[in-house]
A and B are shown apart, each in its own frame.
Chain A
Amino acid sequence: MEELILKLKQEIIEALNLEDVKPEDIDENASLFGDGLGLDSIDALELIVLMEKNYGIKLSDPNQGKEIFKSVAVMADYISKNRTK
């Protein structure tokens, strides 16, 4: 799981253009939206694309994103259970 969490952090940084953020700056249990990294609605949509592109997981309802993208740890857990790639 640790490897996946690190990989996920790197992918998020790249996909969302978080230029000055390093993986060690991201607390995997901190909330991604709101205060945490200050991500917005477009970032949430881009994370949906990331899930499909890198892990073969299709989210049909964007509202599922609210639960799954709570934190990197929650995301990694969901991915490990549902990935097809």
Chain B
Amino acid sequence: MKHIVVLNDKSVMVDGVPMQLENQGMAMLNDVYRSRIGDYPKFFKMDALCKVGFVASELLLKAETDGEISQRKAHGTSSRAVLLFNRSGSLNADTKYQATIQEVDNFFPSPAIFVYTLPNIVTGEIAIRNLYYGETNFIVLDSMDLHTIAEQIANAFQDSETESVLTGWVDCYDENHFEARMLIINRNEDILNELNKITQ
């Protein structure tokens, strides 16, 4: 069965089943972290885009391994690529960082925010959490065009070590406007067919 996670600032759905949640936005993500994940204090250092991608990937991987998360981290693997897409890049972190340098008389550039001003950091967070030594990449498009995305995922399999790709759209315009549509695609699957499931 193909597992799909679709979440946004108002709802979280795993395999089409919505989670019962009280809050929205970042508070909602923090709640999901606490109730479903909870063993990764670094979560609270992440910027919004990383939190969105991290929560989505954790829910997806839990579904994939039927909850047996401890198994997957034992040795690390290079057979899984992490390839994510969005339109906003790292705009939310960029805007927050700009605020730390905008005023000449309140100029305190923040390294903890600056490190997140690159959209690929979310792929790094997922790789660290899961010991993924394989390919990680981030592509920015001006819209969620499934044909372009499918083409890029197909290309990823040209790396002979890549057997599966953790992929999807992970976008965070600001802390109240974000979404993630994530799935795992395996070698030889019909990519566009599988990808279409993230819009359902």
Binding site for B on A (CB under 8 A): 15-20, 38, 42-43, 45-46, 49, 52-53
Contact = CB atoms under 8 A, between A and B. Distances in A.
Interface residues on B, range: 10 to 19
B45 interface: yes
A46 B110 contact: yes
B112 interface: yes
Contacts of A42: 45, 111-112, 115
A49 B44 CA distance: 19
A67 B4 CA distance: 49
Contacts of B41: 18-20, 38
Nearest to A39: B45
Contact of A16 (B108, B109, B112, B115): B112
B44 A17 contact: yes
Given A16-B45, A17-B112, A19-B30, 8 more contacts: A17-B44, A18-B44, A20-B41, A20-B44, A42-B112, A42-B115, A43-B112, A46-B112
Contacts of A19: 30, 41, 44
